[in-house]
Amino acid sequence: MTDAAVETDWRQRHAHDLMASYAPPLRLLVRGEGCWVWDDEGTRYLDFLGGIAVNSLGHAHPVVVAAVEDQVRRLVHISNYFASPSQLELAERLKRITGAGDAGRVYFGNSGAEANEAAFKLARRTGRPRILALKNAFHGRTMGALALTGKPALQGPFEPLPAGVEHIDSTVEALEQAIRDDVAMLIVEPIKGETGVVPLPAGYLRAARELTERSGALLVIDEIQTGLGRTGAWFDFQHEGVVPDAVTMAKGIAGGVPLGAMVTFGAASGLLQRGDHGSTFGGNPLATAAANAVLGEIERADLVGNAARRGEQIRAAVEAMGSPLVTEVRGRGLLIGVGTTDGAAPAIGAAALEAGLIVNPINPTSIRIAPPLIVGDEEVEAFTERFAAALAAS
C-alpha cells in the first residue's frame, strides 16, 4: 500500500467510524517525547498546544510512565465504596496547593465538565434560584456545564437547558447590577481560554469576591485551563489574592490521564451530602497516582516558576517579530493568546503546522499557545523560528 493510500485510509476510517462532532483531524500522531510529537509519516512537530493545556510534563515523561506502570500492577479501579492511598494523598495535596486548608474538601470526577457539574450542584444546594455566569465563557458541553457556558451558538441546538443561569458582561458594573441575595453562585474563568485567551479586567476577581461575600453567593473559579501551574502560580486566582468558595480543575492535573476535581473552601465544604453526587471512575487509583506524580514533579522542578519565566520569554519573542498580522499578545504564564488581524488566525495555524509547529487558531482572530510546563531554551528557540516562518508565509 502506498503512503498516500495509508493516509487516505486513516482519514476515511476516522470519518466512517467516529461521531462527526469534531473537525477532521489534522494529522495521525503516533508518539511523543517531551515537547515533541511525531506523525505516522515520521514528521516531528513542536507541540505548543500540549493537548489543550493538558500535558503539563509533555509526552512520555519518566515520572508519569513510572507512576502509571507501578499503579497498573497494583490497582486500577476499586469504586468509591473504598479508598486508595493515591486518592487520599491527592486530596491532601490539592487542599494544600489551593489554600483550602483543613476545612477544604475535594470531589473527584473525570473531566472539567464533570467538575463544573459538581459546582452546579453545589450552587443548587444553597436553595437559591439564580446562578450568574459570564458571556463568552466556556465551562463544558454536558448539559449543566453547557447551561453555564456563555456561548448561545453552542447552546441553541440543545435547549431547553437547566434553568436559572443568567449570563452577564464581564464588568464589575454588570455584576453589581445583577447580584442580589437570591444568587446562589457566580462562576468565572480568570482567563477565557476558549474565547481566545482573554483575561478578566484588572481587579474583577477582587470585586467579585467582595460582592459575593456581601450577598452570600458562592464564588466559584473555573481553573480547568488556567490551573495547576500554567499561569505562573498554582492557580490563577492566587495572583489576585482572593479566596474562592470553590475552584474547579482538570486538564493539566494528571498528564493526560482523565481526571477532574472540585475543591471547596470553608462553609461550602458542607453543602454536598451523602448521595448528592457521585462518579464511578472519579478519583480512581490510576488517575490519582498519575496526578500525584505530575504535581509532585511540577513542585520538585519549580515548573510553576518556569511557566512564569518562559511565558514572558515567549510573549516577548512574538512581540519582537513585529508582524503586521499580530495585533496583541495576551495571557499569563504559559497560556498565551496571540491576537491577529481579522481572519488571519486559521492561515497562521495552518502555516505553523506545515513548519512543524502545533498551535491553535481558536477563532478567526486568535492563536492559543499552551506548551508543556517543561519547555526550555531549545523549545522556545524552535518556536520562535517556526512561528516567525508561519507569520511570514500567511
Active site residues: 138, 222, 251
Q: Which of 38, 31, 39 is CA-nearest to residue 10? A: 39
User: How many angstroms separate the CA atoms of 231 and 221, rounded?
Assistant: 14
User: How many angstroms separate the CA atoms of 196 and 346, rounded?
Assistant: 13
User: How many angstroms separate the CA atoms of 259 and 306, rounded?
Assistant: 24
Q: Which residue has the cell 492566587?
A: 238
User: How many angstroms separate the CA atoms of 89 and 352, rounded?
Assistant: 41
Q: Which residue has the cell 476516522?
A: 14
Q: Which residues of 247-277 are buried (b: 16+ CB within 10 A; e: fewer)?
A: bbbbbbbbbbbbbbbbbbbeebbebbeeeeb
Burial class (CB in 10 A: 0-12, 13-18, 19+), 322: exposed
Q: How many CB atoms within 10 Å of residue 211?
A: 18
The C-alpha cell at 54 is 493538558
- Please give the full DSSP string across 69-136, using - where no structure is assigned: HHHHHH-S---TTS--HHHHHHHHHHHHHHT--TT-EEEEESSHHHHHHHHHHHHHTTT--EEEEETT
User: How many angstroms separate the CA atoms of 249 and 57, rounded?
Assistant: 17
All residues at 6 or more sequence positions from 241 whose CB lies less than 8 Å from its CB, including other chains: 206
Q: In what order do the strands lie in the sheet with 105-109?
A: 105-109, 260-264, 246-249, 218-222, 183-188, 130-134, 165-168
Ramachandran category for residue 376: left, alpha or beta (phi over 0 → left; psi -120 to 50 → alpha):
beta
CB half-sphere exposure, 126, CA atoms < 13 A: 23
User: How many angstroms separate the CA atoms of 390 and 149, rounded?
Assistant: 32
